[in-house]
Amino acid sequence: MEQQPLTSLSPERMQLFIAGLSGLAPEEVRKAKILYIRNAISEYKAMETSFQGFGQAQGCMNMIPFFWPIIGAQKRMMDAQLKLAEERIRNAIDVWRDDLAGENLGLEKP
pLDDT, one tens digit per residue, over 13-43 is: 888 999 999 999 999 999 999 999 999 999 9
Residue 105 lies in a domain: no
Residue 2 lies in a domain: no
- Block mean pLDDT (10 aa), the chain, length 110: 64 89 92 92 91 79 84 90 92 88 70
Residue 12 structural domain:
7-98
Whole-prediction pTM: 0.77
Per DSSP, 65 falls in state G
Domains held by the chain: number: 1
Kind plus residue range of the DSSP H or E element containing 57: helix 26-61
Nearest to 105 by CA among 58, 39, 43: 39
Residue 13 lies in a domain: yes
Residue 94 lies in a domain: yes
Residue 70 lies in a domain: yes
Residue 106 lies in a domain: no
